[in-house]
């Protein structure tokens, strides 16, 4: 089907909530995607931090195909080996205890919010407040867009659920002032992804953890974007020397198959019993088999080391571009393979220019070019993107 026909069909019948680029993607292999006219792009957006193994990784393809041939779905009224195996692996990797699997990031956060509320009520009837950060992103459901500290995601959806407060990120004094015995949880991203790749001071999270302990509040870390090896460790909190009470995951967890999960300590998880939470599709054997395959490949192919090394290489290369275009790039920041380049102006035309020349990146928070490529990229892939970006910066 030609491009124009697809555009037309989509514009007639798909809800127009996305500002799409004028491209119809068809296939992918490794860090490359191809459109339906055969044009090749190097993909450093990876479905927004989702395709951690790149596209069509043979081990992931085989796991999904094999599982689809056995059983795709069965109700959570029954056990499956794939789900039990995933729970065991995630608990061991995280150092936490109990896992719940859903279908998306927003759902993972909804589950974490629900658990925090139930937990708070085991202590006091009014221990229900959840504190999150400005410029955060936690999802698009009514509770998670309320948790999200960006008014643009909330406008028009009032009345919003109550009990949420927002404080500036990386400001321990502001958090301290907002906390009380009514706080049941503090929910934060270790690095704000959608907010512009914002990295807090090294001791911020140590102090957040201490405040949560002082007030008996749970610390929920939203690692939907930073988890699954993205920062060079399986979970970003491993860099911080702290442990959360709940961590949420989604994006990279099953390498592109829809999934979300939260992992909680036994202490927090004890607030949930049979009937308190659930999902029809969540934790189905297809998604769990995909996640199990992704986790195995991350280990077998030593992708944590690679993410760290390639992240450092990418940051070095971007800093060279910052030196070359000081009027355009003012800062480069990142941890492993979540990297941002702060611009002096909106970045959309730079992204468009890169696409024209065959590289997919994106711009978040208006003026931060974001790079969240597959974890198995090589230096040659980085060089390829940098060369295209260099030309794009020269062109704008």
- 105: contact with ligand PLP by CB under 6 A: yes
Minimum CB distance to ligand PLP smaller for 199 or for 321: 199
Catalytic residues: 137, 222, 251
Q: CA–CA separation, 2 vs 309, rounded Å?
A: 40
- 282: contact with ligand PLP by CB under 6 A: no
Tell the smallest beta-carbon distance from residue 317 to ligand PLP (Å).
Answer: 24
Which of 45, 106, 175, 289 binds ligand PLP (CB under 6 A)? It is 106
Residue 141 is labelled as binding a ligand: no
- 384: contact with ligand PLP by CB under 6 A: no
Contact between 223 and 138 (Cβ < 8 Å): no
Minimum CB distance to ligand PLP smaller for 194 or for 384: 194
Q: Output the furthest CA–CA distance in the chain (Å, rounded).
A: 61
Residue 7 is labelled as binding a ligand: no
- 189: contact with ligand PLP by CB under 6 A: yes
- 271: contact with ligand PLP by CB under 6 A: no
Residue 227 is labelled as binding a ligand: no
Minimum CB distance to ligand PLP smaller for 102 or for 163: 102
Both tokens of residue 280? 């029809």
Smallest Cα–Cα separation from 236: which of 245, 219, 224? 224
Q: CA–CA separation, 377 vs 306, rounded Å?
A: 8
Residue 350 is labelled as binding a ligand: no
DSSP assignment letter at 75 = -
| Angle of CA points 52, 293, 60, to nearest 5° | 65
Minimum CB distance to ligand PLP smaller for 130 or for 392: 130
**What is the per-residue binding string for ligand PLP in 216-255, x denoting contact by CB under 6 A?**
------x-xx------------------------xx----
Sheet harboring 338-343: ordered strands across? 329-335, 338-343, 368-371, 362-364
Which of 30, 54, 111, 139 binds ligand PLP (CB under 6 A)? It is 139
Contact between 51 and 255 (Cβ < 8 Å): yes
- 200: contact with ligand PLP by CB under 6 A: no
Both tokens of residue 341? 């380049």
Minimum CB distance to ligand PLP smaller for 63 or for 259: 259
| CA distance from start to end of the chain | 33
246 — phi, psi (to 5°)? Answer: -140, 135
- 135: contact with ligand PLP by CB under 6 A: no
Q: Interface with ligand PLP by CB under 6 A: which range of 105-113, 207-215, 227-235, 369-377?
A: 105-113
Count of CB atoms situated within 10 Å of the CB of 295 = 21
Q: CA–CA separation, 59 vs 307, rounded Å?
A: 19
Tell the smallest beta-carbon distance from residue 246 to ligand PLP (Å).
Answer: 13
Q: CA–CA separation, 373 vs 384, rounded Å?
A: 13
User: How many residues in the chain?
Assistant: 396
Smallest Cα–Cα separation from 234: which of 285, 291, 160, 290? 291
Tell the smallest beta-carbon distance from residue 1 to ligand PLP (Å).
Answer: 27
- 138: contact with ligand PLP by CB under 6 A: yes
Q: Which residues are annotated as a binding site for pyridoxal 5'-phosphate?
A: 105-106, 137, 222-225, 280
Q: Which residues are annotated as a binding site for N(2)-acetyl-L-ornithine?
A: 140, 279
Q: Could you list the residues that contact ligand PLP (CB under 6 A)?
A: 104-106, 109, 137-139, 189, 193-194, 222, 224-225, 250-251
């Amino acid at each position: 089907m030609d491009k124009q026909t697809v555009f037309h069909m989509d514009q007639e019948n798909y809800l127009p909530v996305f500002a799409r680029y004028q491209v119809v993607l068809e296939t992918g292999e490794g860090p490359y995607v191809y459109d339906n006219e055969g044009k090749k792009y190097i993909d450093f957006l990876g479905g927004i931090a989702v395709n951690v193994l790149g596209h069509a990784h043979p081990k992931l393809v085989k796991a999904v195909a094999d599982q689809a041939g056995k059983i795709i779905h069965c109700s959570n009224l029954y056990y499956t080996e794939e789900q039990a195996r995933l729970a065991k692996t995630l608990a061991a990797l995280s150092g936490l205890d109990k896992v719940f699997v859903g279908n998306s990031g927003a759902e993972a956060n909804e589950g974490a919010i629900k658990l925090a509320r139930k937990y708070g009520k085991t202590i006091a009837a009014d221990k229900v407040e959840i504190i999150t950060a400005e410029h955060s992103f936690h999802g698009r459901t009514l509770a998670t867009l309320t948790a999200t500290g960006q008014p643009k995601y909330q406008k028009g959806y009032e009345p919003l659920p109550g009990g949420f407060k927002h404080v500036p990120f990386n400001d321990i004094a502001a958090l301290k002032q907002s906390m009380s015995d009514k706080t049941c949880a503090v929910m934060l991203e270790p690095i704000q992804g959608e907010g512009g790749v914002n990295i807090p001071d090294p001791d911020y999270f140590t102090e957040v953890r201490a405040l949560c302990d002082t007030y008996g509040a749970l610390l929920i870390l939203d690692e939907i974007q930073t988890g699954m090896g993205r920062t060079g460790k399986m979970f970003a909190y491993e860099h911080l020397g702290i442990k959360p009470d709940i961590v949420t995951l989604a994006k990279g967890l099953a390498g592109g198959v829809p999934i979300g999960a939260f992992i909680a300590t036994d202490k927090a998880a004890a607030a949930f019993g049979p009937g308190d939470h659930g999902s029809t599709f969540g934790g189905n054997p297809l998604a769990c088999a995909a996640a199990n395959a992704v986790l195995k490949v991350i280990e077998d192919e030593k992708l944590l080391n690679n993410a760290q090394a390639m992240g450092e290489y990418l940051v070095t290369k971007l800093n060279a571009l910052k030196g070359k275009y000081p009027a355009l790039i003012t800062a480069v920041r990142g941890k492993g393979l979540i990297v941002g380049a702060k611009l002096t102006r909106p970045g959309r035309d730079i992204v468009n220019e890169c696409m024209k020349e065959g590289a997919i990146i994106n711009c978040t928070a208006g003026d931060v070019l974001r790079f969240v490529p597959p974890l198995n990229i090589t230096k040659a892939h980085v060089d390829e993107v940098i060369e295209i970006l260099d030309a794009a910066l020269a062109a704008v």
